[in-house]
Amino acid sequence: MNTIFESAIYESRRAVLKQRMQSGIALFLGNTEAPMNYLSNTYKYRQDSTFLYFFGLALPDLAAVIDFDENREIIFGNDFDIDDIIWMGNQPSVQALGEQAGVHETMPMAKLADYLAGAKGRKIHFVPPYRAETKIVLSELTGLKIGELKANASVELIKHTVNMRSIKEACEIAEMELACSIGVLMHRSVMKACKPAVSELELAGLVEGLALAKGNGVSFPVILSQHGETLHNHNHNLILKEGNMLLTDAGAEGLMNYCSDYTRTIPVSGKFSPKQREIYELVLKANIEGIAKMCPGITFKEAHRHAAEIIASGLKELGLMKGDVKEAVELGAHALFFPHGLGHQLGLDVHDMENFGEDYVGYDNTVHRSDIFGWNALRIARELKPGFVITVEPGIYFIPQLIDIWKSEKRFENFINYDKVETYRDFGGIRIEDDVLVTETSHKVLGPHLEKGVDELEEIMKK
Ligand code: GLY
Ligand code: MN
Ligand code: MN
């Protein structure tokens, strides 16, 4: 099983970066192990995604530089000594690891500080660090205070990296297809095991176990809850109850750390009630039509608007909303029910590259973040390009606390029938999410088909 692409892939990515960056040195700090409760008892290791993208090595305690002025690429790390080998087995030398990534120059980690000190006033480019250990090391290496690091991150390096990583290569898409096929297995396992009296915890464990059995584990902590109205609900402490719906938002990482991200919402009893079915089919329509919009040239904001208008128009038919649908959506009235964005980029991270700052990933000089509630939650709004992989994940939620606030403020009274909304207070929430590749002319839904139609869901739940 491969855990790294051939070295030419990384050589070519670095060559593109070298061509685009003007000058200075880019510093890439790999992730260290993260201790759970004492130093040698660690969380599952996860390499930094930018390090993976340019160097492919999923091992702790590595760093790398690309020196744009001197055209040098160097990997820094320490070879295992006999004590390491006794406890953890042998490992290729740093030199041999470097060769896997097409990097021919390596040095012990202690030389990194000397190398950067020798840069003498040349710019050190780095992306914003998100782990405490990395912040400490970066602070020591650059002489910047920890609080100054984010503001001094290289916008140039961020922008070029985002531009490169947003366009997925064929080898990356193949990895994402694998991650999707694991995600499909995970969700089907829930569909088949879901029934009254089973615990959410048991299903969450089933999902996570499959992700670990087939790949590198889950791509983010499993969301599996009968309280689907809480968008990122990581509690699994309830017992499944007849009449409720179960929302599962979960994805896998393949062995090369590419991610999938799916959401399905199913009736615990195996059959949708008429009321559940009405809302479900509305979300499904927004999901299907949202996917249909995915093609080069459209802005994600327009796709989001389309999905929001489908939701608002359906809610109007059901008597929950009223007035002019386009105006309601433009002003943000739909966000009582659909407060998040239609999706996000997916790749080596489940929210791809979000560590750089969402605005660098999802916005550019043609589209700016709105300050209207709901619209402001769009993780991406910019124009789609061939090679983007994006999630499409509309939802309808009834969040009692939000309903109470809006109702007390009489917010959007001309668009929302609060009396009718009250009759849905305990409904919960529904989201349906798929992963979509934007192609040259259109799109392709990644992964095998994962049941989402009412009939096919009720059919698979019988099994
Ligand atoms: N990982 C949660 C979501 O964005 O779907
Ligand atoms: Mn998701
Ligand atoms: Mn998602």
The pLDDT assigned to 417 comes to 98
Picking from 355, 351, 384, 345, the residue whose alpha carbon sits closest to that of residue 367 is: 384
Picking from 167, 181, 177, 254, the residue whose alpha carbon sits closest to that of residue 439 is: 167
**Domains, the chain, with CATH or none:** 7-166 (3.40.350.10), 170-462 (3.90.230.10)
Residue 321 main-chain phi, psi, to 5 deg = -120, 170
Q: Mean pLDDT across the stretch 260-281? A: 98
Ligand 2 centroid to Cα of residue 144, in Å, is: 36
Picking from 173, 376, 152, 359, the residue whose alpha carbon sits closest to that of residue 258 is: 173
Q: Is the pLDDT of residue 426 over 90?
A: yes
DSSP letter (8 states) at residue 252: B
> Is-contact 378 369, C-beta < 8 A?
yes
Atom of ligand 1 nearest to the CA of 219: 1
Q: Is the pLDDT of residue 460 over 80?
A: yes
Atom of ligand 1 nearest to the CA of 343: 4
Q: Considering just the CA atoms, what is the radius of gyration of the chain in Å?
A: 24
Ligand 1 centroid to Cα of residue 261, in Å, is: 7
Ligand 2 centroid to Cα of residue 250, in Å, is: 6
Q: Which of 218, 219, 220, 260 to mutate to test the pocket of ligand 1 (most atoms within 8 A of CB)?
A: 220
d(CA 134, CA 125): 15
Position 452 confidence tier, pLDDT thresholds 50, 70, 90: very high
Q: Which residues line ligand 1 (CB under 6 A)?
A: 220, 249, 261, 344, 350, 393, 433
Instruction: Provide the token pair at 245.
Output: 């719906």
Position 1 confidence tier, pLDDT thresholds 50, 70, 90: low
Q: Mean pLDDT across the stretch 274-293? A: 98
Is beta strand 41-42 parallel, antiparallel or unpaired with respect to 35-38? antiparallel
Q: How many CA atoms lie within 13 A of 216 on its CB side?
A: 25
d(CA 418, CA 412): 10
Q: Is the pLDDT of residue 105 over 90?
A: yes
Neighbours of 167 (CB within 10 A): 13
Ligand 1 centroid to Cα of residue 219, in Å, is: 10
Segment 347-400, tens digit of pLDDT? 999 999 999 999 999 999 999 999 999 999 999 999 999 999 999 999 999 999
Q: Mean pLDDT across the stretch 420-438? A: 98
Report residues near ion ligand 2: CB below 5 Å: 249, 261, 263, 433
Atom of ligand 1 nearest to the CA of 431: 5
Report residues near ion ligand 3: CB below 5 Å: 261, 391
Q: Which of 180, 222, 249, 287 to mutate to test the pocket of ligand 1 (most atoms within 8 A of CB)?
A: 249
Position 199 confidence tier, pLDDT thresholds 50, 70, 90: very high
Ligand 3 centroid to Cα of residue 393, in Å, is: 6
Position 244 confidence tier, pLDDT thresholds 50, 70, 90: very high
Using alpha carbons, list the distances in angstroms from residue 312 to 148, 197, 275, 286, 394. 44, 35, 17, 10, 12
Q: Mean pLDDT across the stretch 306-330? A: 98
CB-based burial, 295-319: b 16+ in 10 Å, e otherwise: bbeebbbebbbbbbbbbbbbbbeee
The pLDDT assigned to 398 comes to 98
Q: Mean pLDDT across the stretch 210-230? A: 97
Please report which ligand is nearest the Cα atom of 250.
Answer: 2
Picking from 218, 248, 252, the residue whose alpha carbon sits closest to that of residue 233 is: 248
Q: Is the pLDDT of residue 72 over 70?
A: yes
Looking at every residue in the chain, the average pLDDT score rounds to 97
Please report which ligand is nearest the Cα atom of 389.
Answer: 3
Q: Is the pLDDT of residue 2 over 80?
A: no
Position 233 confidence tier, pLDDT thresholds 50, 70, 90: confident
Picking from 182, 175, 177, the residue whose alpha carbon sits closest to that of residue 256 is: 175
d(CA 44, CA 253): 13
Q: Which of 346, 351, 361, 397 to mutate to test the pocket of ligand 1 (most atoms within 8 A of CB)?
A: 351
Ligand 1 centroid to Cα of residue 363, in Å, is: 19
pTM for this prediction: 0.97
Is beta strand 443-445 parallel, antiparallel or unpaired with respect to 434-438? antiparallel
Please report which ligand is nearest the Cα atom of 233.
Answer: 1
